[in-house]
Amino acid sequence: MLANTFGTLFRVTTFGESHGDAVGGVIDGCPAGLQFSLSAIHAFLQRRKPNPQLHGEVSTPRIENDDIHFHSGIQHRDEDTVITLGSPIAFTVQNRNVRAQDYTTAIFRPGHADYTYFKKFGIQGITGGGRASGRETVARVVAGTIAGCLLEQYDIHVYGGTEAIHNIHGTHFNYAQAHRQPLYALDSDVVPRWQERIAEVKAQGDTVGGIARVIAYGVPAGLGEPVFDKIDARLAYALMSVGTVKGIEIGAGFTASSYTGSQNNDPIGEEYEQNNAGGILGGITTGQDILIRIAIKPIPSISKEQKTLNSQGEPCTLSIQGRHDTCVLPRVIPVLESMVKLVLADFLLIDRARKDIFSF
């Protein structure tokens, strides 16, 4: 729960700069005896990588060959299946295909963390965003995927997808299929318009953001810990810690602010008729679906010329030429899903700790 560690009983610590030796993580607190398939982890990890087939010209042509090397915490049952030992699961993913010259600049890039890291840590010349790079999220996805394997034991499933790119919104959402759609579209009908818009923006040397959604099915009632560790508070914490996120809504979100109480209150009944609460009341799950909506800003690396300062404090201009995504949103989706899985796995364990000691 501090700096580079997240979680209480199911914890992950991540490490690694984008252009250093490796990124990786340590998962501590995963129960012993969980089986998972290494190829399944690898397949999930592919989803945060540039995928020309699914996402066309969206993402950077830089190829990230994310081979995960597990150092501890698991034992092989067969070549692909492993079982957790209850000890920390450490892994590294080597950084390859590094072209540091794209990044070696003492000019603070607008919208990036260059300036703030410099003010905080006082170190110049950390290339490629260093720790603030999206590359760090590799470790979150590995940890989140393993958390997801634990959740599956409880029939809890987490899905994310793209609602909007730039200002083009989908309207009918299919969560379970989104990861098979181009741009991880929740509504595949808008994909052609998204692709067209992305091509236009790319031609202008610019980038676009969008809106993501994450849903969790099958979450039992009773997860979450009042009052500061409300499950929505921890979800907001988890999701806002992802670099490009600028807004979070639970259930009806900002729309709830323009409802009356009688509109907003979800009737309680065997079949819930609406879910403005997003599956959470008083910070505790109701048993309905957890619904989250997330605002993703456009990636700040643009080739259009921008005004900025160099590290001597002198005004200058900057045009960023390296390999960068035009729309990073699809690659962020598995990171968002992973953060939600980490929160749910953690609260599931915390809830188990005290559950059914006393009967009522």
19 binds a second copy (CB under 8 A): no
The Cα–Cα gap between 63 and 47 comes to 13
Among 266, 331, 332, 341, binds a second copy (CB under 8 A): 266
From first CA to last CA, the distance across the chain in angstroms is 33
Closest CA to 277 of 293, 268, 287, 264: 264
Closest CA to 168 of 195, 199, 190: 190
Q: Give the shortest CB-97-to-a second copy separation in angstroms.
A: 17
Among 52, 63, 67, 71, binds a second copy (CB under 8 A): 71
Q: Which is nearer to a second copy, 284 or 336 (CB)?
A: 284
347 binds a second copy (CB under 8 A): no
Residue 210's Cβ-side half-sphere holds a number of Cα atoms within 13 Å equal to 29
Cβ contact 84:150 at 8 Å = no
214 binds a second copy (CB under 8 A): no
Q: Which is nearer to a second copy, 39 or 153 (CB)?
A: 153
Structure tokens at 83: 């079982």
The Cα–Cα gap between 60 and 44 comes to 19
Q: Give the shortest CB-313-to-a second copy separation in angstroms.
A: 8
Among 50, 130, 148, 161, binds a second copy (CB under 8 A): 130
Q: List the beta bridge partners of residue 245.
A: 296
260 binds a second copy (CB under 8 A): yes
Structure tokens at 209: 């953001």
| CA dist 265 → 259, 268, 283 (Å) | 9, 9, 15
61 binds a second copy (CB under 8 A): no
132 binds a second copy (CB under 8 A): yes
Q: Give the shortest CB-67-to-a second copy separation in angstroms.
A: 14
| Touching a second copy, residues 193-212 (CB under 8 A) | 201, 204, 206-211
218 binds a second copy (CB under 8 A): no
Among 39, 104, 265, 321, binds a second copy (CB under 8 A): 265
Q: Give the shortest CB-49-to-a second copy separation in angstroms.
A: 19
